[in-house]
Structure 1
């Protein structure tokens, strides 16, 4: 059951600030510090929980976190603020109003309202809806929050949904176990003109309906979500959207193309996870004038170094058979004592391999364990 937001905490910004201060200063003794200041135990616990959640929310929300109200489950599912702002701008370019289904803490609704949309946020859990109302008030944004069933509530000209992906304290990876389940939710969203639904980044392509756009989003190389765009919102079959150092980059395509397979080359590229999940390796390979070394392993190889936001690049130094006993003296000869080990397609455990290599020396390198032409190889690289 979701916790409720105590009115005494909501209306006392001084207590909120005091809780944040004692948590930072006193750590585990913070509850005692608040109780000594005359705050009753239950209210002190709620204030310190809020302060702790705000601290953990900063990577997602920046300074905005210090003004918002969170639950642990709600914060875990909440969209990172730059991602929500970007999505809201896409809605605002095509619609004037939006229904935000399964709104949770209401953070997506805040982004919609900030973008100028008329927003109705719908949440089935009354306690959670209270947090959404508090967050709208905290930012003074005109969000109407309704306690209702996402599958029954009337929809505006556009709609967004973020179904719950946790139950009983565990994460649900099967969209059939979302709340509400994905299939009936998609049926509901198809009744409006412009719609999108946020999903976990591990969503299988089997769940992508015909005619939808499937987008995967990464933030500083961390794949954070997938999103299905429906109706008029669908612009391309597949999209990889990357936020790096505050700048957005997009790669689009069919997701059905296949890159050419060839030999190892001077440079090795590791595509961003969003590109891999979206199935856009071939499109990236074309942009880089590169090819794959094995048709089912998402590394690319090219003879020239091309700057790209969609992949990390390494200079290939050596290619050796993937045999620990042979690798050990080769690395020792080069004085390599610090080694980043990456692997795809070999099944090796990098931690186990590292122990077997018994590294010593002042030099640093990257070793990529992978397959080329069906053979397991170790590629010694340096950052390009």
Structure 2
């Protein structure tokens, strides 16, 4: 989005028109556009309002009803933190008793908004002019928040803050980047700021290598309803510990596990298969979870646990093992047909065969549904017919 379109988007005329278009379905957009133009609305205004109304509806599941007062462009929406995650970030700075926080990578301002809601002052830096215009609109309800268009690392010298937050860009034309040296601003430069303020928080991609995390910081991987959304890096008074943690959010419930990143032991398959949450895996806390559940790995190289008794934990999904089978298409098809299975859910870990490759080769036509797990057991490929607990 260019700055001219951004200013049009946050104009009173566009905001009012977009609000009136909240219930317009995408399939009706062309007809509505024609009607609005015939009514005398300028084509550019109509396009901006329709786009804003559409983006608000796309943002609603992640950001809630606050979207009705916000301005968006698509690139910013794709990178914006979910409301639940932004609240977690803001809570850290509130708990650290910060008075004013610099957001080095404001984007559309979702994290800065959450911090401002806690009554803290916010200086939100944004390098892109159009995005800064939208962020300034989104932060306008909070008098202690302001947006600065410019380079954040250079601009820090001109502001007095006791907390710093950053969500460095991790995308380019080729997609998502995992190398911390490619972050913008550079991750190492941001992490060095932990020595200059009371509290530092950095949102990084969940695939961040463990070796990129300083030992004096807390790294908390966060998953929401099974989707690992970030690793939060925390220093100073914003850190609750040093080392690794995993926060699992399911609905309104939050559960956290923390500890050393020692690898779990492995052993024979038991009656139950446990699939750890992705945040636990990314954090390297399989060993901690195994100790808590009296479980062990099915294979030293595979992140499935197994136990002889049923377990209930928010950190893993449990499956009862019904049958252990060879990873052979004919044998699998024969077993599934004997059980009248027509629909199969396939999970895989540690094997090259994909569900998309296997499913059509099974040629199933039954009336039942089953779950297959393709994996390695004690160094060998195998398939497990399982039943979700």
TM-score w.r.t. the length of structure 1 is 0.94
CA deviation vs aligned residue, 1:42-69 (integer Å, no higher than 9, x gap): 1111111111111110121011122211
Shift of 1:167: 3.4
Structure 2 residue aligned with 1:136: 139
Q: Distance in 2 between matches of 1:62 and 1:355?
A: 40
| Equivalent position of 2:361 in the other structure | 356
Mean CA deviation greater in 220-229 or 232-241: 232-241
Structure 1 residues 326 and 22, CA, compared in 2 at 3 Å: closer, same or farther? closer
Residues 142-181 of structure 1: pairs in structure 2 closer than 5 A: 142-152=144-154, 153-154=156-157, 156-168=161-173, 170-181=175-186
After TM superposition, give the deviation of residue 174 of structure 1 in Å.
2.4
Identify if the C-alpha distance between structure 1 residues 91 and 316 changes in structure 2 by more than 3 Å, giving closer, same or farther. same
Contact 2:219 2:231 in 1 (8 A): yes
2:7 corresponds to: 6
Q: Please point out which of 253, 257, 265 is paired with 1:247.
A: 253
Match for residue 182 of structure 1? 187
Paired with 1:250 and 1:268, the residues of 2 have a C-alpha distance of 21
1:276 maps to: 281
Does 1:61 pair with 2:80?
A: no
Match of 1:85? Answer: 87
* One of 113, 117, 122 as aligned partner of 1:119: 122
Q: Is the 8 A contact 1:9 1:16 kept in 2?
A: no
The SS at the match of 1:292 is strand
Aligned-residue offset at 1:23: 4.7
Contact in 2 for aligned 1:22/1:33 (Cα 8 Å): no
Alignment of 1:1-384 (within 5 A): 2-3=2-3, 4-7=5-8, 9-12=10-13, 13-23=15-25, 26-94=28-96, 95-137=98-140, 139-140=141-142, 142-152=144-154, 153-154=156-157, 156-168=161-173, 170-234=175-239, 235-255=241-261, 257-384=262-389
Aligned length: 382
Q: 1:141 to 1:282 in 2, by over 3 A?
A: farther
Structure 2 gap ranges (5+): none
Q: CA deviation at 1:140?
A: 4.4
Kindly indicate whether the alpha-carbon contact (under 8 Å) linking 1:215 and 1:240 is maintained by their aligned counterparts in 2: yes
1:83–1:128 distance in 2 versus 1, CA, 3 Å: same
Bigger Cα displacement from structure 2, 58-67 vs 261-270: 58-67
Q: CA deviation at 1:96?
A: 2.4
Contact 2:266 2:300 in 1 (8 A): yes
Supply the distance in 2 between the matched residues of 1:8 and 1:330 (Cα, whole angstroms).
59
**Cα contact 2:193–2:200 (8 A) shared by 1:** no
| Unaligned segments of structure 1, at least 5 residues | none
Instruction: Evaluate the alpha carbon distance shift between residue 113 and residue 222 of structure 1 in structure 2; reply closer, same or farther with a 3 A threshold.
Output: same
Task: Spell out, residue by residue over 1:215-257, the C-alpha distance to the aligned partner (whole angstroms, 9 max, x if none).
Answer: 21111101111221123433131111121012211111122x1
In 2: Cα distance, 1:112 partner to 1:83 partner: 12
* Cα deviations by residue, 1:329-355 (Å, 9 ceiling, x for unpaired): 111111111111111111111121112
Distance 1:185 1:90, change over 3 A: closer
Which one is further off, 141-150 or 200-209?
141-150
- Alpha-carbon separation, structure 2, partners of 1:368 and 1:268: 10
Q: Provide, for residues 161-204 of structure 1, a one-character-per-residue CA deviation record: whole Å limited to 9, x for no partner.
A: 11222334743332222221212222234322210111122222
Q: Could you tell me how far apart the structure 2 residues matched to 1:288 and 1:181 are?
A: 39
1:285 and 1:2 map into 2 onto residues whose CA distance is 52
